[in-house]
């Protein structure tokens, strides 16, 4: 596929108001400091704050390249390898702590990370564009080409799909291959369903649910023999409970709950006969932040599992199935 002509942005911080997400896949043996150093020095010369939240060797190299490291705030590498909601919350919290209140832009460098699953990495990178859209931040993500290697996934392709800007030897370029977060996430989620475990006998099956307490007891009993820790099992039950309660309140009965447990991962599918929703961005930020008034269920559920997807329950487009997956 031919790439559209890229536009070079010579300035370190162009006239943009919101979040500018910049990607760079680090090549083996590449001098990262020589590439990133000039960008950070230009930001400091413009009087804009710089935060480095990278792995220790990279952070040290960048501080040397800047020349006056006392002007750079250094933080431990943020948890980008964690589940997408947790990783996004960590980055968002760091941005909110460091962002100036006088209109200046914040310059943030993170990575290189090493997540276990390339899909989680792609989700995190895509969702940052949505969740941080209004923050005046230049965020440079340093990525490793090892991301996705085990699955035969091209790290460069994922980086281009999730970053509106790229850092190259020519400077910061607009990326014509960037894809909108909702579009990309739908594609990633479609690749996850149906789950292969659904072709096997479930560990637990509750058809036409009518007793939430009985379901919780059955889930705890089934998960007690699983590969999950006690804490992880409690989180999984919480997530299933939130999704099931939502299906019972807002969906159309009957509601069915099925659980599959393997040594590697666990799957729970919650199905009702209502209408499926097709917004992969829902639930990646608290609806209002007030736990006392409801509306927080999907956000809580996402933070408790590795993936949560929603699809129609059958090929006719009828019904709604929410799948929750936890890696053991």
- Is residue 166, in this structure, part of any structural domain at all? yes
What is the DSSP secondary-structure string of 228-288? S-HHHHHHHHHHHHHHHHHHHHHS-S--EEEEEE-SSEEEEEEEESSB----TTTTSS-SS
Q: How many domains does one find in the chain? A: 2
- Is residue 299, in this structure, part of any structural domain at all? yes
| Residue 61: per-residue pLDDT | 95
Residues 164 and 16 in one domain: yes
Taking only Cα atoms into account, the Rg of the chain, rounded to an integer number of angstroms, comes to 22
Contact 282, 189 (CB under 8 A): no
| Residue 229: per-residue pLDDT | 96
**Tokens matching residue 295:** 């509306």
Identify the CATH number of the domain in which residue 309 sits. 3.30.565.10
DSSP 310: E
Residues 48 and 175 in one domain: yes
| Residue 326: per-residue pLDDT | 96
Q: Where among 168, 188, 208 does a domain terminate?
A: 188
* Positive/negative CA dihedral, 83, 89, 90, 91: positive
| Residue 160: per-residue pLDDT | 97
- Is residue 1, in this structure, part of any structural domain at all? no
Residues 179 and 268 in one domain: no
CA dist., res. 226 & res. 217, Å (int): 15
Residues 167 and 233 in one domain: no
| Residue 148: per-residue pLDDT | 61
How far apart, in Å, are the Cα atoms of 131 and each of 125, 143, 283, 326? Answer: 10, 20, 11, 23
Residues 146 and 263 in one domain: no
- Is residue 258, in this structure, part of any structural domain at all? yes
- Is residue 3, in this structure, part of any structural domain at all? no
Residues 176 and 204 in one domain: no
Residues 178 and 212 in one domain: no
Query: Which residues span the domain enclosing 119?
Result: 8-188
Looking only at the bridges linking them, the beta strands covering 137-143 and 20-25 are parallel
How many beta carbons lie within 10 A of that of residue 288, not counting itself?
Answer: 11
How far apart, in Å, are the Cα atoms of 92 and each of 80, 88, 134, 204, 206? Answer: 11, 6, 11, 37, 38
Residues 66 and 148 in one domain: yes
CA dist., res. 83 & res. 101, Å (int): 30
Instruction: Give, for all 328 residues of the chain, the pLDDT tens digit.
Output: 334 444 445 444 555 689 999 999 999 899 999 999 999 999 999 999 999 999 999 999 999 999 888 889 999 886 666 788 888 989 999 999 999 999 999 999 999 877 667 888 899 999 999 999 999 999 999 998 876 665 677 889 999 999 999 999 999 999 999 999 999 999 988 888 899 999 999 999 999 999 999 999 999 999 999 999 999 999 999 999 999 999 999 999 999 999 999 999 999 999 999 998 878 888 886 555 554 444 567 888 999 999 999 999 988 889 999 999 999 9
| Residue 71: per-residue pLDDT | 87
Residues 223 and 91 in one domain: no
Q: Where among 164, 188, 212 does a domain terminate?
A: 188
| Residue 92: per-residue pLDDT | 94
- Residue tagged 């914040």 (tokens): 106
Residues 229 and 277 in one domain: yes
Nearest alpha carbon to residue 286 among 304, 271, 298, 274: 298
Q: Where among 160, 188, 216 does a domain terminate?
A: 188
Contact 191, 19 (CB under 8 A): no
| Residue 285: per-residue pLDDT | 65
Phi and psi dihedrals of 16, rounded to 5?
-120, 150
DSSP-H helix ranges across the chain: 32-45, 56-66, 84-98, 118-131, 155-162, 181-190, 212-224, 230-250, 297-304
Contact 243, 327 (CB under 8 A): no
| Residue 81: per-residue pLDDT | 63
- Is residue 40, in this structure, part of any structural domain at all? yes
pTM of the model: 0.86
Identify the CATH number of the domain in which residue 91 sits. 3.40.50
CA dist., res. 194 & res. 184, Å (int): 18
Residues 184 and 217 in one domain: no
Residues 136 and 242 in one domain: no
Burial letters for 86-120: b for 16+ Cβ neighbours within 10 Å, e otherwise?
bbbbbbbebbeebbeeeeebbbbbbbbbebebbbb
């Amino acid at each position: 596929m031919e790439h559209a002509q890229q536009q070079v942005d010579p300035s370190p911080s162009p006239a943009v108001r919101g979040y500018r997400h910049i990607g760079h896949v680090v090549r083996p043996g590449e001098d990262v400091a020589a590439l990133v150093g000039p960008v950070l020095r230009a930001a400091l010369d413009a009087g804009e704050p710089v935060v480095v939240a990278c792995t220790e060797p990279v952070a040290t190299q960048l501080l040397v390249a800047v020349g006056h490291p006392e002007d750079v705030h250094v933080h431990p590498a943020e948890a980008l390898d964690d589940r997408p909601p947790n990783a996004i919350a960590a980055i968002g919290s760091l941005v909110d702590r460091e962002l100036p209140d006088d209109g200046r832009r914040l310059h943030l460098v993170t990575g290189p990370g090493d997540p276990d699953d390339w899909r989680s990495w792609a989700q995190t990178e895509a969702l940052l564009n949505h969740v941080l859209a209004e923050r005046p931040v230049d965020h440079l993500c340093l990525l490793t080409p090892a991301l996705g290697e085990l699955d035969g996934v091209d790290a460069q392709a994922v980086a281009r799909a999730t970053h509106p800007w790229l850092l190259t030897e020519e400077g910061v370029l607009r990326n014509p291959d960037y894809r909108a977060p909702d579009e990309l996430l739908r594609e990633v989620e479609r690749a996850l369903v149906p789950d292969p475990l659904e072709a096997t006998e479930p560990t637990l099956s509750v058809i036409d649910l009518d007793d939430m307490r009985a379901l919780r007891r059955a889930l705890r009993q089934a998960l007690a023999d699983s590969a999950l820790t006690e804490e992880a099992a409690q989180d999984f039950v919480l997530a299933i409970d939130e999704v099931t309660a939502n299906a019972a309140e807002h969906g159309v009965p009957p509601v069915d709950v099925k659980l599959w447990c393997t040594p590697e991962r666990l799957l729970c599918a919650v199905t009702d006969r209502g209408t499926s929703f097709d917004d992969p961005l829902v639930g990646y930020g608290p609806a209002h932040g007030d736990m006392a008034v409801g509306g927080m269920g999907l956000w809580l559920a996402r933070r408790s599992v590795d993936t949560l997807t929603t699809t129609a329950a059958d090929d006719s487009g009828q019904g709604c199935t929410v799948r929750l997956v936890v890696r053991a």
